[in-house]
Chain A
Amino acid sequence: GDSVTQMEGPVTLSEEAFLTINCTYTATGYPSLFWYVQYPGEGLQLLLKATKADDKGSNKGFEATYRKETTSFHLEKGSVQVSDSAVYFCALRMAGGGNKLTFGTGTQLKVEL
């Protein structure tokens, strides 16, 4: 079946460091890919998405590029802030899948001063 694998956390970085959170997927077709962020005490929020190969999603300084050849959708940010501390979830959705999202396990990011 479809699945998403992302790096285990927690990831601890100093402020202004470069961030990469790896995400790879397994799917029978060509899914749409998503990154969600969950701040403490809040629900998951859509951070960015990409719907086809080579698309780049971006938001709030975060970016991820849909790489079909490596089945990856790694999340990057050039300079993290303390306020970016959260749990980040990679997810996929197949076309015609009734809006069903398949999530990775989540990666906790801690940014320190």
Chain B
Amino acid sequence: GAVVSQHPSRVICKSGTSVKIECRSLDFQATTMFWYRQFPKQSLMLMATSNEGSKATYEQGVEKDKFLINHASLTLSTLTVTSAHPEDSSFYICSARVRRGSYNEQFFGPGTRLTVL
């Protein structure tokens, strides 16, 4: 099946630093990837849609200058949390879209736990 990896799985950083999270499709190419954020006991919230070779599309309320997304190749999208603060601590999940006949399916990565001290 389609496998999506994320790196790192956990990261702890100091307030004010920037953190980069990678999302890779391991055995397929993905023109579209998605970034989600999940708070404890809450649902996954879509942050942005990442399109290979073009700018990401951000959901309402998501600061594009804070959450930089780069989809430089068909197998890699990166999310950079700039000048991180404790309120950015969360679980970040990416997914990649695959065409299955007439249907698009998303395959999810295992997530990255970010803790900002």
Residues of chain A at the chain B interface (Cβ within 8 Å)? 4, 8, 36, 38, 41-46, 89, 98-106
CA–CA, A98 and B58, complex, Å:
13
Beta-carbon contact of B109 and A105 below 8 Å? no
**Residue B4 interfacial (CB < 8 Å):** yes
26 contacts between A and B (CB under 8 A): A4-B43, A8-B41, A36-B108, A38-B108, A41-B110, A43-B6, A43-B108, A43-B109, A44-B44, A44-B93, A44-B95, A46-B105, A46-B106, A89-B44, A98-B49, A99-B32, A99-B34, A99-B104, A99-B106, A101-B44, A101-B46, A101-B106, A103-B43, A103-B44, A104-B43, A105-B43
* Distance between Cα atoms of A106 and B97 in the complex (Å): 21
Q: How far is the CA of A98 from the CA of B42 in the complex (A)?
A: 23
Given that A98-B49, A99-B32, A99-B97 are known contacts, is A45 also in contact with B108, CB under 8 Å in the complex?
yes
Q: 1/0 contact trace for B33-47 toward A, CB 8 Å?
A: 010000001111010
> From residue 83 to 117 of chain B, which have CB atoms closer than 8 A to chain A?
93, 95, 97, 104-111
**Interface size class for chain B?**
20 to 34
Give the most central of A36, A100, A101, A102: most B CB within 10 Å. Answer: A101
Q: How far is the CA of A101 from the CA of B42 in the complex (A)?
A: 15
- Contact check, A105 vs B110: say whether CB atoms are below 8 A apart: no
Contacts of A101 in B (CB 8 A): 44, 46, 106
Q: Is the CB of A43 within 8 A of B41?
A: no
Which B residues lie within 8 Å of A45 (CB)? 108
B42 touches A105 (CB 8 A): yes
Closest chain B residue to A5, Cβ basis: B43
Residue of chain A at shortest CB distance from B36: A103
Question: How far, in angstroms, from A101 to B46 measured CA to CA in the complex?
Answer: 8
- A100–B107 CA distance with the chains assembled, in angstroms: 13
Is B46 in contact with A100, judged by CB distance below 8 angstroms? yes
Q: In the complex, A105 Cα to B46 Cα: how many Å?
A: 13
Whether B108 contacts A44 by the Cβ 8 Å rule is yes
